[in-house]
Each structure stands twice: as structure tokens, then as C-alpha cells.
Amino acid sequence: MAESEHYVEGLPKELDHFLADFFPRKRWQSRVQYDHMARRFFLDVVLRDAGLAGDDRFLSLIAFYGRGQRRVLREKAGLELDFRLFSADGADLTAQLRSAESTYLHDDERGSTMGRELAWLGFRRRLWRQFVPRSLLWGVVIALLVLGFGISFPLAVVLCMVAVLVQLMLTSMTPRRRL
């Protein structure tokens, strides 16, 4: 049970990481609470920016994340998890979250449209936050190898590919956290 409790404690950080892939600024705060009377965990999201309360993409992302985590915790550890949404002044906005969840996750046409929009938004964010900077970095490394050290261009490319393969091997060997 200690491993599942550790997993539940890490949910706010994982949610923040998940949402940060789509929304550039941290305009929310998340925390886990346990209600002894209801015998369930609650992942509370407090909006620091009131504009997020009306953003269907944001609400759908929380609903999407919540569904997945709820299912994993129920199947793997027998724990119940629910999501609540609050404004910065403490007003309960959970009804808006439930509405977004039912609108976009149960209606196939709107759900697939939202899925495409979220995929496009995530692609753009990853393109500018990960792919372009890494490509520029590798371009600088190749230029440094060719111009600075006098290595031939094909050899510099091969060295960079070997470096990427070594990096992939090392990251695949690191242990992953499991429930």
C-alpha cells in the first residue's frame, strides 16, 4: 500500500507536468487530499487564472487526465480518486469540469474534434519547446566538430548519431516508476 500512496502523492506533480505541455504558464495549483468519511482521494485543482475556468481545452485535459488516473488507481490499488476544481477565491467549479467531461469525452464527434485540437496544440508546443532547440543544439555541435576540430561532415554526423543512440540506451535502462 505504501507504493500506491507514494503514487497518489505524486499526482499533483504529474498533472502539472501534463498540463504544462499544453499551457505555457502555471496558472493553476493542484494538491491531493484524502476524505476519511468518503474513503477516497481528491485531486483538487485551484485556478489562479479565472480565464481557465471557461477554457474547454483546459477542462477537457483535466477530465482526460482524471479518467486515466482514476482507472489506474481503481484497477491497480483499489483506491478511489475524484477531481475537484476551485477558483482562486474558493468557489467550487467542479460542475464545469463535469460538464466538459461529459461534453467532450462522451460525444464522439465533439470528442474527436477536441482530441485533434489537443493533439495539434501539443504538437506545436513540443515543436517549439523540444524539437527546434534540440535541432539547433545538434546543428551547433556538428558545426563545432566540422569547423572547430576539422572533422569531416559525414564523420561528425555519425558521431552525433552514435551520441543519440547512447543517450537512448541510457534512458531506456533507467528504472521507471510503476504502481
If asked whether residues 101 and 157 sit together in one domain, one would say: no
Name the β-bridge partners of 33.
42
Band the pLDDT of 57: cuts 50, 70, 90. Answer: confident
Is residue 50 predicted with pLDDT exceeding 50?
A: yes
Beta carbons of 96 and 62 less than 8 angstroms apart = no
User: Could you tell me what percentage of the chain is helix, strand and coil, using 3-state DSSP and rounding each to the nearest 5?
Assistant: 65, 15, 20
Total domains in the chain come to 2
What pLDDT is attached to residue 179?
Answer: 44
| Model pLDDT for residues 117-131, shown as the tens digit of each residue | 777 877 887 888 888
Beta carbons of 142 and 160 less than 8 angstroms apart = yes
Q: Which candidate, 58, 64, 81, places its Cα nearest to that of 10?
A: 81
**Any domain includes 23:** yes
If asked whether residues 75 and 162 sit together in one domain, one would say: no
Domain that holds residue 32: 2-106
If asked whether residues 52 and 24 sit together in one domain, one would say: yes
Find where cell 517549439 sits.
128
What pLDDT is attached to residue 115?
Answer: 66
Contacts with 38 (C-beta within 8 Å, 6 or more apart), sequence order: 80
Is residue 160 predicted with pLDDT exceeding 70?
A: yes
* Angstrom distance (rounded) from CA 56 to CA 117: 11
Band the pLDDT of 176: cuts 50, 70, 90. Answer: low
Domain containing residue 7: CATH number: 3.30.300
